Amino acid sequence: MTNRPLRPALRAALLAGASVLVLAFASPQLRAADLSAKPLRAPAPPPTWSWWFEGGPIASPAGDPLIGFAPVLTNIAPGTGWEMAGGFDYRAAAFSPYVYSAQFRYGENPRRTAFFNRPGIMFGLLSAFGTETANVAATGSAAIKESHWLVDFAVGRDYSIGASKAQAKLGIRIAELRSTSWAAGLLSGFESGGTGVFGFVSFQSRSKFLGVGPRIGIDSTTPLGPSWTFDFLAGVAVLFGDRTLNATENSVITSEPDRIVPFQPVFLNSSGTAAVFNLDAQAGISYWFTPNFKLTASYRFDGYFNALKVIEVGGVVNQDRFYHGPMFRATLTF
């Protein structure tokens, strides 16, 4: 039997069918190779939080207001106290240069007591029986207690300065400072005629400043080793608000069983608007136990200039308050 060549039309149909089968088999492999050449788009990084808490002792904040009006009973300065604080930083995305932060701080210089023994002072005693002069001394105790708190809200932006990372901040600060003092004691002495006199005296005062204003600051971190960093922050604020001082003193003297000479109560009320300059700074060493947790030992200064009205020789003056001491902080990032 003679072999006849395939017709051209049949040959073309066979070739076309083979090509279709090859393409059908190779299509999944080609699609897989194309997908592997183009990596999938990664999801946006999650927001990041950094929470911190710290506390420590603070030294006497300076200032020693007088207790009582002329003649003054004594003067007394607030003693050593404590301060605690907490706050957070929030970054909307892991690679965003902007950070939103807030903090709250509260501290106290607890009541400090002092005993006074004021020498005899000449008084003119007025009563229905006429005018007498008496030499009267005072003995007793006085105490003072002060407290302060602040709230900060800020927006920061990251910068790099060599190996250090810095963050410039712009925000608002609200702060309040309070000082309360009181005293109580006994009066004793003699009238000009030789009659003995005795009585009591009491004094109370309250001084307060509450203000709000803009604050600019900077935070920086410099690496010192695999797990150690040097941390530093500083800020300046101007707080606009009210300074007030309210004080009252009462005295009563009696010289005979039927003769009581009450002194008229003495009142002092002083208030006014003020702009208080505030400067704070803190520096310390941190150790990172894990990539998400560190402990910091630092020293902090927070000063308020001409912040509180107090009684001093010559009248009412404005006194500074400087809060400073070692702080111990724990920071958790997630």
pLDDT tens, position by position, for the chain (334 residues)?
444 454 555 455 444 454 544 444 445 554 444 444 444 444 555 669 999 999 999 999 988 899 998 888 999 999 999 999 999 999 988 788 999 999 999 999 998 999 999 998 887 665 555 667 788 899 999 999 999 999 999 999 999 988 899 999 999 999 999 999 999 999 998 887 777 888 899 999 999 999 999 999 999 999 998 999 999 999 999 999 999 999 999 988 887 665 666 666 889 999 999 999 999 999 999 999 999 999 999 999 999 999 999 998 888 999 999 999 999 999 999 9
Q: Residue 277 is encoded by which pair of tokens? A: 């300059």
CA 229 to chain centroid, in Å, comes to 23
Determine the Cα–Cα distance for residues 214 and 18; give it in Å rounded to an integer. 80
Determine the Cα–Cα distance for residues 77 and 66; give it in Å rounded to an integer. 9
Determine the Cα–Cα distance for residues 76 and 64; give it in Å rounded to an integer. 5
Q: Of 235, 323, 333, give the one whose Cα is nearest residue 286.
A: 333
- Write down the pLDDT at residue 91: 92
Q: Of 116, 125, 101, 11, give the one whose Cα is nearest residue 50.
A: 101
Q: Residue 16 is encoded by which pair of tokens? A: 């076309």
Q: What is the signed CA dihedral for 286, 222, 103, 170, rounded to 10 degrees?
A: 170
151 residue type, one letter: V
Q: Where are the beta strands (DSSP E) in the chain?
A: 48-58, 66-67, 74-75, 81-91, 98-127, 130-161, 164-191, 196-223, 228-256, 259-262, 266-290, 293-312, 315-333
Structural domain 45-333, CATH architecture:
Beta Barrel (2.40)
Domain ranges of the chain: 45-333
Beta bridge mates, 209: 177, 243
pTM of the model: 0.81
Burial of 143 (0-12, 13-18, 19+ CB in 10 A): middle
Do the beta carbons of residue 155 and residue 98 sit within 8 Å? yes
Dihedral pair phi/psi, residue 304, rounded to 5° = -125, 120
Q: What DSSP letter does each residue of 142-192 carry, written as one string?
A: EEEEEEEEEEEEEEEEEEEETTEEEEEEEEEEEEEEEEEEEEEEEEEEEET
Do the beta carbons of residue 179 and residue 79 sit within 8 Å? no
